[in-house]
Amino acid sequence: MIASGDRPHVREDLTIVELDGEAVVYDGVTGELHHLNPSATIVLSMCDGARTISAMAEAVSDAFDVALDDVTPQVSSVVERFAEAGLLADD
């Protein structure tokens, strides 16, 4: 489980292509292709190992003028899905 203080980062060996606000992520290890909607693409771009999940949620809250309490569980859920899909580096 990902904690709000964790600093997730995307695996460096993934191929990520962004187009029109959406991303396609290719995992050459598994051969899987992941299509991300614009919201997930934003969260993925913040998974740089420098930001905590809490900081990501604050950034999304500020950028879209949405209540932090509403955004935090959504950001956590998206990051958890990234982890389950194997898109995040193991520390």
Spell out the domain ranges in the chain. Answer: 15-84
Q: Provide the pLDDT confidence category of residue 90 given band limits of 50, 70 and 90.
A: confident
How far is the C-alpha of 84 from the C-alpha of 42, rounded, in Å?
Answer: 18
CB count, 10 Å around CB of 89? Answer: 15
At 36 the pLDDT is 98
Quote the mean pLDDT of the chain.
95
Decide yes or no: CATH 1.10.10.1150 for domain 15-84.
yes
At 19 the pLDDT is 94
